[in-house]
Chain A
Amino acid sequence: MRRYLTRKILIYTLTFFLAVTIDWLIPRFMPGDPIRNMLARVSVASNASAIQMMYDYYARLFGLDLPLWQQYLNFWKALFQGNLGISTYLFPTPVIEVLKRAVPYDAFLLIPSILLAWYAGNNFGAIAARSKRLDNFILPLSYVLTATPYMWLGILLAWFFGIVLGLFPIAGAYSFSLRPTWSWTFVLDLLHHWFLPFASLFIIDFGGWAIGMRNMIIYELEAEYSRYLTALGAPQRLIRRYAFNNAILPQITGLALRLGVIVAGALVTEVVFSYPGIGYLLLAAIQNQDYFLIQGCFLFIILGVLIANFVIDLVYIVVDPRTRRGMVGESA
């Protein structure tokens, strides 16, 4: 058990270092640089030498005049002190402050949509597996849903429910006329704005899980332990329950594998609905070449995906005795 966990933590730490390094590297491959971008936006001076002076000043301030390897080391040093730098796009707000404002919206959008889609998809798939009529209807629908790009469905929902029917707002996390407070009006408004982005994430993931579960249940019902129970006259209820318990295991692994895809889907959905989460922020950061904000956003995504995967590893130990027993052996 201990060995298994140490090994997992080691792998996750290594992944973290690699991912963060790539995250640091990629913005720096972009043409142009954040300081010039920032100065162009404020356009304080027209004099070329004045701009050059300001450029040098800010470059020194952000540490961008140093050689790359030095910048890299500084980045890690700062990171361990919990310092993600200062955003050039939202200058002079520290990146960590910007993220703190965005993360609750992500959690609010992602956690319910991922978990509910997983739960509902699995249950629907299991029901579809034993009802021919439901199966004929759900399966093709699920294939269409799971193949739909997130942003396309988002646009479609926004157009239909937002513009044609006018039922839901299509942008923002709450109305511009309101200020965030803990009042019923605000909470209802928040939910009203939350619904469409949530629905577009939920619907697509739901399709994928339903297909997976349906196929797994059919496979498990054909498995030999199911046949043995049938031969011993066990009621369908017991056989189905066993099949479900076995079929859910690959779906848990699937959740770990798909998390990355879902998070990427959430990014584009947030852009479609101008939802002020990390995805929306990331787009703005990239457009403004804000190295520090890009790094910060990716850092959060990396951490989120890794932590979620680790949690799933732990859950797996609980639900599948075979992993637990396997841990004492060589393969642990």
Chain B
Amino acid sequence: MALKVENLTVYYQTLRGDVHALEHATFQIADGEIMGLAGESGCGKTTLGHSLIVLFPPMKYIAGKVLLDGEELPIWDSERMNAYRFRKVSLIPQYAMNAMNPIRKIGKMIQELLESRGVDYREVLPELKRRLDLVSLSHEVLNMYPIELSGGMKQRMVMVISSLLNPSLLIADEITSALDVATQKAVAEMLVEFRDCQFVNTMIVVTHDISILYQIADSILIMYAGVLAEKAPTQSIIESPRHPYTRMLISSLPEVGVRHADKRLSGIPGNPPLLLNPPTGCRFRDRCPLAYERCLEEPPFLEIEKDHYVACWKEFESHA
């Protein structure tokens, strides 16, 4: 297993108390796997993605273990974590449009970044140029300032920078959100290409756009209100979801060929609970049509079929 996460818990410290943004996350990713991480806004997917590489205050590590290629990542210790960042774990941030220093030429910035990490820029340069070709950026961009690039170009540039040192794990955080549909598809395909060229071993693609994941992800992890709800191969998640939340989420996606004037697109009634003081038991309980007394206890995240994990009492019952 390339990545193994055990019982990872991260809170946000606020003046009103801890926000339980991520609790008891346990999952693993195989070598070469692209895992999609989906859920609605505020469900903790970005928290999970970021906690594997950098915890900015007010994020606070509470508990858990992260093993990457058999080695434990010291994610609670930002100083020690520096050695792993960029080389072993890397991030394509949500804010790729503003990720580069506006007053440095891009090539110069990359050089300063690499040299600060003890990597010789001249040695990496041929590979850098090859990857620019791969994402169809001209070599000229190295001599430009970020302001001279379009949004899509900046996005691709940041993708190249983040994956330059061939990290084992690459976290792509909402990278398609700011792009138009045509560019989204191109960017998503580049991610797959990066994996196929073995620039990166595994990838976590954080998004709320399940249709993108359907195109590129090998497996999908669904989160709800700070906890994991279901993880399964993409096909299973789309075609036979098990968790009631996943089912309702998938059924609220529009389908090609269905006229929604005739058939009203159903959403999920209600709102997710506040995570400042989350309810005990299953967090989806209040919105779940199947909820019963057992749901007052927190369901574990168990494998009910091969590679299919789910956290729902009803499902365990039917498999028992």
B108 to chain A, nearest CB (A): 11
Pair B100/A238 contact, Cβ less than 8 Å: no
Over the window 299-332 of chain A, the binary record of Cβ atoms lying under 8 Å from chain B Cβ atoms (1 yes, 0 no) is 0000000000000000000011110010000000
Told that A228-B158, A246-B101, A246-B102 touch, could you supply 13 new A-B pairs with CB distance under 8 A? Answer: A224-B95, A224-B98, A224-B99, A228-B100, A229-B113, A232-B86, A233-B87, A234-B113, A237-B116, A238-B116, A245-B101, A321-B105, A322-B102
Question: By the criterion CB–CB under 8 Å, are B98 and A233 in contact?
Answer: no
Q: Which of B56, B84, B113 contacts A238 (CB 8 A)?
A: B113
**Given A325-B145, A325-B148, residue A233 in contact with residue B84 (CB < 8 A):** yes
Do the beta carbons of B117 and A249 come within 8 Å of each other? no
Question: B78-110 vs A: 1/0 string, CB under 8 Å?
Answer: 000111111100110101001111111100000
Given the known inter-chain contacts A223-B98, A321-B147, A322-B147, please indicate yes or no for A233 contacting B103, CB distance below 8 A.
no
In the assembled complex, the CB of B291 is this many whole angstroms from the nearest CB of chain A, namely 39
Q: Which residues of A contact B83 (CB under 8 A)?
A: 233
Q: Is A130 positioned at the interface, with any CB of B under 8 Å from its CB?
A: no
Most chain B CB atoms below 10 A, which of A232, A233, A238, A322: A232
Question: Is there an interface contact between A230 and B54, defined as CB atoms closer than 8 Å?
Answer: yes
Q: Which of A225, A319, A325 has a CB less than 8 Å from the CB of B147?
A: A325
Q: Does A231 contact B (CB under 8 A)?
A: yes
CA distance A99 to B148 in the complex (A): 49
Q: In the complex, what residues of A have CB within 8 A of residue B90's CB?
A: 231-232
Q: Once the chains are docked, how many angstroms separate the CA of A225 from the CA of B98?
A: 6
Known: A237-B116, A320-B103. A231 touches B98 (CB 8 A): no
Are B113 and A232 in contact (CB-based, < 8 A)? Answer: yes
Please indicate the chain A residues that have their CB under 8 angstroms from the CB of B91 in the complex. 228, 231-232
CA distance in complex: A229, B116 (Å): 11
Between A and B, 24 residue pairs with Cβ closer than 8 Å are A224-B98, A225-B99, A227-B54, A228-B100, A228-B158, A230-B56, A232-B86, A232-B90, A233-B83, A233-B85, A234-B116, A237-B116, A242-B101, A245-B101, A245-B103, A246-B101, A249-B103, A319-B103, A321-B102, A321-B105, A321-B147, A325-B145, A325-B147, A325-B148
B53 on the A face (CB < 8 A): yes
Q: Does B69 contact A (CB under 8 A)?
A: no
Interface size class of A (residues with CB under 8 A): 20 to 34
Report Cα–Cα, A263/B84, bound state, in Å. 53
Count of A-B residue pairs with CB < 8 Å: 77
Residues in B lying within 8 Å of A, measured CB to CB = 53-54, 56, 81-87, 90-91, 93, 95, 98-105, 112-113, 116-117, 145, 147-148, 158, 161-162
CB neighbours of B98 from chain A (8 A): 223-225
Chain A residue at smallest Cβ distance from B85: A233
Cα–Cα, bound, A93→B185 (Å): 80
Chain B hits for A321, CB < 8 A: 102-103, 105, 145, 147
Q: How far is the CA of A169 from the CA of B1 in the complex (A)?
A: 79
Is A92 close to B, CB under 8 A?
A: no
Q: Check B102–A232 contact: CB distance below 8 A.
A: no
CB neighbours (8 Å) of A246 from chain B are 101-103
Residues in B whose Cβ lies below 8 Å from that of A242: 101, 104
- Report how far A249 CA is from B103 CA in the complex, Å: 10
User: Contacting A225 at CB < 8 Å: which of B86, B87, B102, B117?
Assistant: B102
Do A227 and B112 touch (CB < 8 A)?
A: no
Minimum distance in angstroms from B203 CB to a CB of chain A:
16
A235 lies within 8 A of chain B by Cβ: yes
Question: Chain A residues near B113 (CB, 8 Å)?
Answer: 229, 232, 234, 238
